[in-house]
Structure 1
Amino acid sequence: MTRLNVVLFVALVFSGLYLVRVSYEARRLFVEVERAQSEERALETEFEQLQLEKRAQATPLRVEKVAREKLQMRTATPAVTHYVTHAGATDAPQAASAAAPGGQP
């Protein structure tokens, strides 16, 4: 009977140690999940702020201002408009000969 008591006592001790280890691991994982959820909330907030900034940067007035200041673009007027016409089939050999060195095709 004493052998059975010793075996049961050893099983009880191992069971208790396993329970402590599992409880510690569960607490550690819970803290890790809470930390990840907190990081998720922070990233969602940052994403929303970036989306707001993106919408603010893409307003038509700002785009026009940047185009005028940084790219030196201006509104098209008839005074600065250049019209390109298609040269007819009869003009094509003359244009080619003018482009070739020496005037010969």
Structure 2
Amino acid sequence: MRNEFPTPEAMAEFKRLSRLLLGDGVVAGNMFGAESLKFDGRAIACLSGDAMAFKLGRGAPEHEAALAVDGAELFDPSGMGRPFKDWVSVPASALGNWEGLAKAALLAAE
């Protein structure tokens, strides 16, 4: 079971990514009951427990690459077995992948 609250490392990386992407039109906000990154009013990523979920677009090469990360899975914000097929949740153990995935999510939203 994933931790309900982000680890300090996951929160620090979320904040770093928020600052990094701010100049690209990204704003931090709240969506799905979690800290989120939004572009043009739409969520492109969100912190979910100690994982970060990214909207990459089903079938996109970045989506497939994200799913190949150890521990990654389709993002299911309700926890009821109804995942968002365009979204991939990547655990904090793969925190080094988050920046590239956040940038890919931004490109997918543009």
TM range (shorter): under 0.3
Structure of larger gyration radius: 1
With structure 2 as the length reference, what TM-score do the two structures score? 0.17
With structure 1 as the length reference, what TM-score do the two structures score? 0.18
Which protein, 1 or 2, shows the higher relative CO under an 8 Å CA cutoff with sep ≥ 6? 2
Structure with more of its chain in strand, by fraction: 2
